[in-house]
Amino acid sequence: MTTTARATVQHEDDRVRVTRWDFEDGQSTGRHVHAYDYVVVPVTDGRTEVIGADGTVIPSPMKAGESYARTAGTEHEVVNVGGAPHSFVEIELKKP
């Protein structure tokens, strides 16, 4: 059984929300849909899997400091499968 990772909102205002996600091995974000475009900044190296709404599993390795951006609307779940704790910061862009 997968447990939920710890999400800590570090900053939120009318333009952005910044959340730090801390995962133990096997922990998950839980299934969710992003309401906003977002940027992910890995704090540590890690190996995750992204599970789509249809159950498709996409390997998603993360390298500390190598950011990426995604658009709103896709349903998914992120699971830490790297065998060690993993963290990233998620920056949601509420307004352009």
List the domain boundaries for the chain: 6-93
> For position 95, what pLDDT does the model report?
80
**What are the 10-residue block averages of pLDDT along the chain, 96 residues in total?**
88 97 97 97 98 96 97 95 98 90
Closest CA to 43 of 19, 25, 59: 19
pTM of the entire predicted model: 0.92
Structural tokens at position 62: 């993360």
CATH architecture assignment, domain 6-93? Sandwich (2.60)
Cβ atoms of 91 and 70 within 8 Å: the answer is no
Closest CA to 19 of 94, 80, 75, 74: 94
Tens digits of residue pLDDT in 74-91: 899 999 999 999 999 999
Cβ atoms of 46 and 84 within 8 Å: the answer is yes
